[in-house]
Amino acid sequence: MDEMQEIIEDFLVESFEMIDQLDQDLIELENNPKDLELLNRIFRVAHTIKGSSSFLGFDVLTRLTHNMEDVLNKARKGDLEITHEVMDVILESVDLMKALLEAIKDTGSDDQGIDIDRSVKKLEAVSNGESVANISVEQPKEESKQEESNEDYSHLSAEEVEAEIERLLTERQEQDRQKRQAKKQAQANPQASQEGEKKPEAIKEVIKKPEAPKKPEGAKEERVPTTSIEQTVRVDVKRLDHLMNLIGELVLGKNRLLRIHGDISDKYNSNTLSEELNQIVSSISTVTTDLQLAVMKTRMLPIVKVFNKFPRMVRDLARELGKNIELIMSGEETELDKSIIEEIGDPLVHIIRNSCDHGIESPEVRLEKGKSEVGKIVLKAYNEGNHIVIEIQDDGKGLDPEAIKAKALEKGLITDRDAATMSDKEAFSLIFKAGFSTAAAITNISGRGVGMDVVKTNIEKLNGIIDIESQLGLGTTLKLKIPLTLAIIQALIVGVQEEFYAIPLSSVLETVRISQEEIYTVDGKSVLRLRDEVLPLVHMSSIFEVKNDFGSAKEIYVVIIGLAEQKIGMIVDCLIGQEEVVIKSLGEYLKNIQGIAGATVRGDGKITLIVDVVAIMEMGKNIKVNLNKIIEEKQIEKANRSPKDFTILITDDSSTYRAIAQNYLQEFGVQTLEAQNGVEALEILKKNDCKVDAVLIDIEMPKMDGYTLASEIRKISKFRNLPLIAITSMNSKNDRIRGVEAGMTEYISKPYSKEYLIKIIKRSLKLEDTQKDDDYE
């Protein structure tokens, strides 16, 4: 990149930074036209951009900003009053300035057919104290072209026409060559470019742009403008994204290290090595967390980047609608991840346009209702844990729940029964349905009935929640709750058979443990009564079509998931715990799987799918599974089972003890399988060729001892309730405690009698006493 190109890029960055704040400053100036400090600040923006553009040869932009500067200078001197009409002209010029800067950014030139003549004429009229109402809309530039083309070529022959075209092309090429040569000379020797009175000033402004303009003598102390340029290093966003990905991998490594540390601590509790490892792991965990926060901070931008455009938008809408609207903003310094900043703008624009159009009443109506003539829209942002909350509140007419229900009935979105039982808050949520609108007349200001559903969809794509509260006649408040970043989140890890899923913690309201008797059935659907609420109940295995053993356990784990006013109870087999997970894309081929938002790698190195909460709540509404019926079928099946329906795995390295146990059990009537060590037993269980109902485990075995085997079995979700019966000569108190900690459910000391073994087996399998069983007592 050559030096001139770098100067142009610096000019564009500086100009865009100054213009970001300009709209808001101009609206503030319109409300406080006597604020000389604010006026000086705006004047300096126009002056700086004019000087820099003049030096760089952007003549169109220079001409526009020169005329803006004249108007603002007269206002500074008190020769011109800033009225609504004058501000309309200035704002129109600012829009053109933005368009010219975008043209320079895209093409390297401001001569791209953007017409500024009409705006310049208006600025000149304002500067001369004339009215702008009768400004001609004719385009002088086009007139001059027409004048140039007025020469009559009809008398020329074909050869003469060709020669004239060649002459004009040569003339234009020569002009272009001279312009390029002039730029190269300016680049090679900027100090020698002394042709115009404004050039040296422009050079100083470009090269010394960090220096603030000197204050005139006697001027009062100025506030530091929000457009001041900080001494910062500009970093390509792609580099930050790459750095964030590396941090994500580091977090995964940290989680893996914590998992290994936990396993070692369990095995060598009082070992010195374990204590040293604990110190190192704690230190690495702390540093990784700090580094993660630091990198995330580099991607953060103040939300003022989004808020800046709203004062101008509200001002223009108020004038168009004939209303008096005041926008009050707070929390502009609140920071969000850059990727979310880019996505949040459009939803906020639509919500605020709705507030202006449908919410705030006309001045006459407001006075009749005893309200202030000026309607207020409050836009504020603040942090709440790992989320940012954005509130948009207006003091308009509010939402009428009955009118919303009537419209929804008319469109067939709800039934009469739904309308009768629906709360006001549930009625408000209907405005997020596709195509829904209560507006009496369609306007171009707001959504035309295709907006609020898109707003909700966009917010939910960011893993956010949108909530609405309203009081008829008093106003409406919309609250958006959005995560600070989309890269790393806190999640609740749950198990469904052998599958594990991560549910974003921001959507988890609570977890409860219930009994089978607490599940009820309404209209063929299972529900849970939790305190004063009745929640739909769905097993996660039904959503993802995973085989499950529901009904065999007496206690059931339920995760209560919520989005705004909607809640659902999700049944899972087990709760693993809370973890910090790094979101990974599923790739091009798997990205559209319903109910799955992405994946992550957990501490044990395995892949865990991340749940799309919005999608599974929608999927759950369409699932009709009577859980009570499943429970009853399981109970009947268990009651009718006899010993021959059960299979027991005997795990012992001694062939003698295996033969003894096999004879006892076969005589009792149960089926048996054999394994010589823990590794072999684990392989038999994982193969799942036949269902194993209990495992007899010797403690002292080669390859894998009994304690380790029990621990490994308990890690498999479907075996968390499997009876594990220790058979060993190690029968001290410590041995028994260790067995219970590993997951053993019963403890039999060698040698043992046939009667005692059968008694323990019957208790573990919950078999009813029969006459046949009594023979072994």
DSSP string covering 336-404, please? Answer: EEHHHHHHHHHHHHHHHHHIIIIISPPHHHHHHTT--SSEEEEEEEEEETTEEEEEEEE-SS---HHHH
User: Are residues 672 and 568 part of one domain?
Assistant: no
Q: Is 261 one of the catalytic residues? A: no
For 726-754, how does the pLDDT look when each residue is reduced to its tens digit (9 = 90+)?
Answer: 888 877 888 888 888 888 888 888 888 88
Tens of pLDDT, residues 20-42: 778 788 888 888 888 888 888 88
Indicate the helix (H) or strand (E) that contains 529: strand 525-530
Q: From 42, 20, 15, select the one nearest 104 (Cα to Cα).
A: 15
Residue 230 covered by a domain = no
Looking at residue 376, what is its pLDDT? 92
Same domain, 652 and 678: yes
Domain's final residue, options 457, 483, 509:
483
Could you confirm whether 47 is annotated as catalytic? yes
How many C-beta neighbours within 10 Å does residue 203 have? Answer: 20
Give the whole-number percent of the chain exceeding pLDDT 70: 81
Position 223 in a domain: no
Q: How many domains does the chain have?
A: 5
Omega prior to 216 cis, within 30 of 0: no
Query: What is the rounded distance in angstroms from the CA atom of residue 503 to the CA atom of residue 544?
Result: 14
Query: In sequence order, which residues have a C-beta less than 8 Å from that of residue 659 and are 6 or more positions away?
Result: none
How far is the C-alpha of 447 from the C-alpha of 346, rounded, in Å? 12
Give me the pLDDT at residue 261, please. Answer: 77
159 is an active site residue: no
CB 327, CB 375: distance < 8 Å? no
The CATH number linked to 589 is 2.40.50.180
φ and ψ of 626, to 5 deg: -85, 100
Rounded to whole angstroms, how far apart are CA atoms 167 and 490?
Answer: 71
Task: Note the pLDDT of residue 645.
Answer: 79
Of all residues in the chain, the percent with pLDDT exceeding 90 is 5
- Extract the tokens encoding 268: 């060598």
Among 356-370, 414-428, 434-448, which is the least confidently predicted range? Answer: 434-448
How confident is residue 492, by pLDDT bands cut at 50, 70 and 90?
very high
In a 13 Å sphere around the CA of 600, the CA atoms on its Cβ side amount to: 32
Handedness of CA 79, 82, 86, 91 (dihedral sign): positive
pLDDT at 392: 93
Residue 293: what residue type?
Answer: L
Give a yes or no: residue 149 inside a domain: no
Instruction: Work out the number of other CB atoms within 10 angstroms of the CB of residue 697.
Output: 29
448 and 499 housed in the same domain: no
Query: Catalytic residue among 47, 66, 261, 539, which?
Result: 47
* Residue 119 covered by a domain: yes
* Residues 471 and 448 occupy one common structural domain: yes
Is the pLDDT at 302 greater than 60? The verdict is yes
Catalytic residue among 69, 335, 343, 391: 69
User: Is 352 in the same domain as 468?
Assistant: yes
DSSP 767: P
Is residue 221 over pLDDT 80? no
Residue 765 domain-assigned (yes or no): yes
Residue 358 burial (10 A CB sphere; 0-12, 13-18, 19+): buried
Query: Residue 60 sits in a domain of what CATH number?
Result: 1.20.120.160
End-of-domain residue from the set 261, 283, 299: 299
Domain containing residue 252: 237-299
Look at residue 570 and give its three-state secondary structure. Answer: strand
Q: Is 223 exposed, middle or buried (0-12, 13-18, 19+ CB in 10 A)?
A: exposed
Nearest CA-CA partner of 332 in 323, 341, 324: 341
Nearest CA among 314, 215, 259, 268 for reference residue 603:
259
Helix (H, G, I), strand (E, B) or coil at 516: helix
Instruction: Give yes or no: residues 740 and 656 share one domain.
Output: yes
Residues 308 and 290 both lie in one domain: no
Q: Where are the alpha helices (DSSP H) in 509-584?
A: 540-544
Residues 389 and 466 in one domain: yes
Strand pairing category for 375-384 and 325-330: parallel
- Encode pLDDT of 181-208 as tens digits: 665 565 555 444 444 444 434 333 333 4
Q: Specify the CATH number for the domain of residue 267.
A: 1.10.287
The alpha helices in 545-601, defined as continuous H runs, are: none
CA distance 313 to 762: 77
317 within a domain of the structure (yes/no):
yes
The verdict on 449 and 596 lying in the same domain is no
Per residue in 65-80, pLDDT (tens digit) is 888 888 888 888 888 8
Question: For residue 253, how many C-alpha atoms fall within 13 Å in the half-sphere facing its CB?
Answer: 11
pLDDT surpasses 70 at 640: no
CATH at 404 = 3.30.565.10
Q: Which of 431, 454, 483 is the last residue of a domain?
A: 483
Q: How far apart are CA 241 and CA 298, in angstroms?
A: 10
**525: pLDDT strictly greater than 70:** yes
- In the prediction, which pLDDT does 222 show? 45
Is the same domain home to 600 and 625?
Answer: yes
In a domain, 228, yes or no: no
Q: Is the pLDDT of residue 331 over 60?
A: yes
The per-residue pLDDT for 379 is 93
Q: Which pLDDT value is given to residue 768?
A: 56
Report d(CA 330, CA 304) in Å as an integer. Answer: 9
Distance, in Å, from the CA atom of 23 to the CA atom of 27, rounded to the nearest integer, reads 6
- Shared domain for 527 and 571, answered yes or no, is yes
What Cα–Cα distance (Å) separates residue 388 from each residue in 175, 331, 482? 55, 10, 5
CA distance 410 to 73: 59
CATH number at residue 686: 3.40.50.2300
What's the rounded mean pLDDT across residues 753-776? 69
pLDDT average, residue stretch 540-552:
75
Question: Do 455 and 554 sit in the same domain of this protein?
Answer: no
Residue 102, C-beta contacts closer than 8 angstroms, at least 6 positions apart: none
Tell whether 151 is covered by a domain.
no
Burial classification of residue 687, based on how many CB atoms lie within 10 Å of its CB (0-12 exposed, 13-18 middle, 19 or more buried): exposed
Residue 473 · residue 579 · CB < 8 Å? no
